Amino acid sequence: MSTAAYAPATVSNVACGFDVLGFALDEPGDIVIARPTEGPGVTIADIVGDGGRLSRDVARNTAGAAAAALLGRLETTRGVALTIHKGLPLESGIGSSGASAVAAVVAVNELLGRPVSTDVLLACAMEGEQAGCGAAHPDNVAPSLLGGFVLARNITPPDVVKLPVPEGLACALLHPHLSVNTGTARALLGDTLPLRDAVRQWANLGALVAALFTGDRELLSRSLVDVVAEPKRAVLVPGFHRVKAAALEAGALGCSLSGSGPSIFALAPSIDVARKAGEAMQRAFDEGSDLGSDLYVSFVGRAGARVVTAP
């Protein structure tokens, strides 16, 4: 007997929501399969699609550490083996490590008969991400687990707020074929921020939350402005400003880095506009670079993580 769970990619920061706002896509995502073992604890049986880059050491693997945190909470002697199917590129800025952690805890919870609440799953997934990549940010993990837009009000203890998703809202996500290390990207920001920039960022975030509740797409568009991270991190992605201009010209509501990059997202009022914007983004990037890129177009995912049939 085994169970499998799917957890989707996420866009974090969402321009003005640095470290506090994120949303889920419908696809792509990761799948983790959990099966019982005779011995206690967690083992990594196999990893597919990572190019051999991910550790099979449970303490250093986000899925393994998350599953171990869940078993620890339950104080059980039961054991599980995990098979991880990576559908998300590594160091891509679309929540790859968070999706693995979320899929793992959902699969293990299902295998054990759903003994814990969503709040516990969130806390364990965050522990897994902390162990696997050195930081636990609920702006990736929470939307992957819960779906939709999520505001992370606090990290310890986790305090997250689900926000509404306006009907038809869609996303184009361009993933250039390069890696951006999160630690390097965070170091670019420094530890201080001019008060005028902080006030502008707060105003944009408040207006963005209001726009989600009212469905005001014009306000949403005006609010998707990042004065904190994007100005400093854009240098990490060749052609970023050209790609952003192409998205806006094609009708996107807004465009910015997804997480710390290198992926770039554009929110759109419909799936057709998202597709048009995405194609324009990819042309703009590929015309100025020989790195290559992948394009994903999806509705903003309302469902979040879920149990699926094993691949």
> Between helices 271-287 and 240-249, what is the axis angle to 10°?
150
State residue 185 phi and psi, 5-degree precision.
-65, -35
pLDDT at 186: 82
Q: 């993580």: which residue's tokens?
A: 305
- For residue 310, how many C-alpha atoms fall within 13 Å in the half-sphere facing its CB? 14
pLDDT at 62: 95
Q: 């997934």: which residue's tokens?
A: 125
Residue 18 clears pLDDT 80, i.e. is over it: yes
pLDDT at 289: 85
> Length of the chain, please?
311
Q: Give how far Cα 208 sits from Cα of 131, 162, 240, 277, Å.
A: 32, 14, 23, 21
Percent of the chain with pLDDT over 90: 82
Q: Which residues of 98-107 are buried (b: 16+ CB within 10 A; e: fewer)?
A: bbbbbbbbbb
147: pLDDT confidence band, cut at 50, 70 and 90? very high
* 242-293: pLDDT as tens digits: 999 999 999 999 999 999 889 999 999 999 999 999 999 999 999 888 899 9
Mean predicted lDDT score pLDDT of the chain: 94
Q: What is the mean pLDDT of residues 1-24?
A: 96
138: pLDDT confidence band, cut at 50, 70 and 90? confident
Determine what percent of the chain falls in helix, strand and coil, rounding each to the nearest 5: 40, 25, 35
Please give the sequence-ordered ranges of beta strands (E in DSSP) within 92-235, or none if there are none. 149-154, 159-163, 170-176
State which amino acid sits at residue 70.
Answer: L
Coil, strand, or helix at residue 179? coil
Residue 21 clears pLDDT 90, i.e. is over it: yes
pLDDT at 204: 98
Spatial CA neighbour of 6 closest among 310, 299, 305, 303? 305
Q: How far apart (Å, rounded) are the C-alpha atoms in residues 260 and 253?
A: 20
Q: How far apart (Å, rounded) are the C-alpha atoms in residues 309 and 311?
A: 6
Q: Find the DSSP H helices in 188-239.
A: 195-214, 217-223, 230-233
- pTM to 2 decimal places: 0.94
Residue 2 clears pLDDT 80, i.e. is over it: yes
130 strand-pairing partners = none
Ordered by where they begin, the domains of the chain are 3-164+302-308 (3.30.230.10), 170-299 (3.30.70.890)
* 118-127: pLDDT as tens digits: 999 999 999 9
Output the six-digit token pair for 298.
């999806």
CB-based contact 122:114 (threshold 8 Å): no
* 178-209: pLDDT as tens digits: 987 777 888 888 889 999 999 999 999 999 99
